[in-house]
Structure 1
Amino acid sequence: MTLMDVRPGVSCVIKNIFVNNLRKRIIDMGLTTGTKVTVKKLAPLGDPMEIQVRGYLLTIRKAEARMIDVELSHEEADQ
């Protein structure tokens, strides 16, 4: 599953970042393997999406979100 597949209000953990040319930029934003991310909201047309990571809000595009492989956090998976 990618970050783009996660609904608002749901938390997940980053497993992998697929595209090398975006990897450095995404890592510089604090999105690293093992980091917990919560999708906060989507724009009316679905792009961009607002996420919470490491205590701050960040807006990323759908194209970037599709390149981030995630799994649901343990709290979300148990529900």
Structure 2
Amino acid sequence: MVIIFIKIKYIIKKVMLLVNIKPGTRYQIDSIDCSDETTIRLMILGLVEGTEIELISSAIGGDPMEFSVFGNTISVRREQARRFSVSPV
């Protein structure tokens, strides 16, 4: 009887939310929690999976946040930015 052991390696990807990104670095939207109307409106504006996004600035206190998407700027409240998970490009 031959026993073969297979070692499976899992890579755990740390989830990064749009609310936590750093200015000046481009990110790609990986997933969206679209459980409310405001998030759906942001998706209509172009914040969909696969879109590249960059944080330009934040207001005092961090809310709202200003992003560059497709060469345009869009302001998003921190509450809504928590619904988008991203990864660095």
Same fold (TM over 0.5): yes
Q: Which runs of 4+ in 1 moved over 6 A?
A: none
Q: Residues 26-75 of structure 1, C-alpha deviation per residue, up to 9 Å, x if partnerless?
A: 211110100000100011110000000011000000001110010011xx
Which runs of 5 or more structure 2 residues have no equivalent in the other structure?
Answer: 1-15
Structure with greater helix percent: 1
Q: Is the 8 A contact 2:34 2:40 kept in 1?
A: no
* More RCO (CA 8 Å, sep 6+): 1
Per the alignment, in what secondary structure is the counterpart of residue 8 of structure 1?
Answer: coil
Partner of 1:63: 79
Cα 1:42/1:13, change in 2 over 3 Å? same
Per the alignment, in what secondary structure is the counterpart of residue 43 of structure 2?
Answer: helix
The count of corresponding residues between Structure 1 and Structure 2 is 73
Fraction of identical pairs, as percent: 32
* Larger CA deviation: 21-30 vs 61-70: 21-30
Partner of 1:76: none
Bigger Rg, structure 1 or 2: 2
TM normalised by structure 1 equals: 0.86
Partner of 2:25: 10
Partner of 1:77: none
Tell me the amino acid that sits aligned with residue 19 of structure 1. C
Q: Is the 8 A contact 2:28 2:53 kept in 1?
A: yes
Tell me the amino acid that sits aligned with residue 80 of structure 2. E
Tell me the amino acid that sits aligned with residue 38 of structure 1. E
CA RMSD of aligned residues (A): 1.1
